């Protein structure tokens, strides 16, 4: 199977599986990102699209980015994108994040100004925590995990997916809205206290009612724990 075939298979599978399961904002953002359906995207072209529409730049990386660098990139509106695609033997379950995870899971929401601001403020909060309050790093990574990576949203139409750890993953997509996953109303005091396990299906998923609520919760929490870290100014909405 060529990398293009792997990409095409994942794209077909996930767009079908997510049809009723992903939040409409994901489809809106995905269409603005203009990700190819049948071949591995050209990162330079994707970078142009993201820069023009959202003011972010993409930074190709080889794999996991250490926390200080990751926070610094987000704070500067730069998103690290893993260059490598998963191998054929891991098409439906990749052991490590890869290009598919980043491009299909994370990049679409950079097109949403509110979520893009959240990424940026995670970066500022992370830099602040590293310098002044390392005890909050664990809390910050749990907040990120249970929202950006594994978040669900229920704005009245039932729970739907927005987390970048779920959207690209056939197994997590099927699991997240099934009776096997426990879906709990988002509560920041619980989220920051709950350890997570990577590499296993999530047992508990937290549900927000809107992206506005998510941003407000993060602003309030980060201003309380890491005062001075909330720096991103609201950006004008870009039209689609
Ligand atoms: Fe991720």
Report the range of poorest mean pLDDT among 36-45, 164-173, 198-207. 198-207
Q: Please choose, from the candidates 224, 82, 228, 231, the residue with its C-alpha nearest in 3D space to the C-alpha of residue 143.
A: 224
Higher per-residue pLDDT: 32 or 132: 32
CA of 9 to the centre of ligand 1 (A): 20
State how beta strands 152-153 and 160-161 pair: antiparallel
CA of 146 to the centre of ligand 1 (A): 11
CA of 61 to the centre of ligand 1 (A): 13
Q: Please choose, from the candidates 105, 110, 108, 85, the residue with its C-alpha nearest in 3D space to the C-alpha of residue 96.
A: 85
Q: What is the overall mean pLDDT for the chain?
A: 93
Q: Report pLDDT for 155.
A: 95
Q: Report pLDDT for 232.
A: 56
CA of 69 to the centre of ligand 1 (A): 15
Q: What are phi and psi of 208, to 5 degrees?
A: -95, 165
pLDDT of 111 > 50? The answer is: yes
CA of 229 to the centre of ligand 1 (A): 22
pLDDT of 238 > 70? The answer is: no
CA of 5 to the centre of ligand 1 (A): 22
CA of 97 to the centre of ligand 1 (A): 7
Its sign, for the CA torsion 155, 160, 164, 167, is negative
CA of 18 to the centre of ligand 1 (A): 18
Q: Report pLDDT for 236.
A: 52
Summarised one tens digit per residue, pLDDT across range 168-177 is 999 999 999 9
Structural domain boundaries in the chain? 3-225
> What's the average model confidence in pLDDT over 216-223?
93
CA of 232 to the centre of ligand 1 (A): 21
pLDDT of 66 > 60? The answer is: yes
pLDDT of 230 > 80? The answer is: no
CA of 133 to the centre of ligand 1 (A): 24
Q: ∠ CA(121), CA(22), CA(54), 5° rounding?
A: 40
CA of 102 to the centre of ligand 1 (A): 6
Q: Report pLDDT for 234.
A: 52
CA of 107 to the centre of ligand 1 (A): 10
> What's the average model confidence in pLDDT over 157-166?
97
CA dist 209 → 187, 193, 216 (Å): 11, 21, 12
Higher per-residue pLDDT: 227 or 2: 2
Q: Report pLDDT for 229.
A: 65
Using CA atoms of 173, 221, 25, 100 in order, give the dihedral in degrees to the nearest 10: -50
CA of 149 to the centre of ligand 1 (A): 6
- Strand, helix or coil for residue 10: helix
pLDDT of 61 > 80? The answer is: yes
**CATH topology for the 3-225 domain:** 1.10.800
Q: Report pLDDT for 240.
A: 38
E strand or H helix at 47? helix 43-54
Could you write out the DSSP letters of every residue in 202-239?
A: -SEEEEES-HHHHHHHHHHHHHHHSTT---PPPPPPPP
The pTM (predicted TM-score) of the whole model is 0.92
| Banded model confidence at residue 239, pLDDT cuts 50, 70, 90 | very low
pLDDT of 192 > 70? The answer is: yes
CA of 116 to the centre of ligand 1 (A): 14
């Amino acid at each position: 199977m060529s990398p293009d075939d792997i990409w095409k298979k994942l794209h077909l599978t996930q767009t079908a599986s997510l049809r009723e399961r992903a939040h409409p904002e994901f489809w809106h953002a995905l269409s603005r990102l203009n990700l190819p359906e049948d071949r591995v995207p050209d990162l330079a072209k994707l970078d142009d699209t993201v820069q023009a529409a959202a003011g972010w730049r993409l930074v190709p990386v080889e794999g996991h980015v250490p926390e200080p660098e990751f926070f610094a990139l987000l704070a500067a509106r730069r998103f690290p994108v893993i260059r490598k695609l998963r191998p054929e033997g891991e098409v439906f379950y990749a052991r490590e994040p890869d290009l598919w995870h980043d491009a299909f899971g994370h990049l679409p929401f950079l097109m949403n100004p509110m979520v893009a601001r959240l990424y940026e403020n995670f970066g500022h909060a992370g830099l602040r925590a590293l310098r002044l309050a390392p005890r909050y790093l664990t809390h910050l990574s749990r907040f990120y995990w249970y929202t950006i990576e594994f978040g669900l949203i229920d704005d009245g139409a039932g729970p739907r997916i927005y987390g970048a750890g779920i959207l690209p993953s056939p197994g997590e997509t099927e699991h997240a809205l099934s009776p096997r996953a426990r879906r709990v109303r988002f509560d920041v005091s619980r989220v920051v206290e709950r350890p997570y396990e990577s590499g296993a299906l999530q047992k508990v998923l937290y549900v927000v009612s809107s992206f506005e609520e998510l941003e407000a919760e993060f602003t309030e929490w980060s201003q309380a724990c890491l005062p001075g870290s909330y720096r991103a100014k609201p950006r004008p909405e870009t039209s689609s």
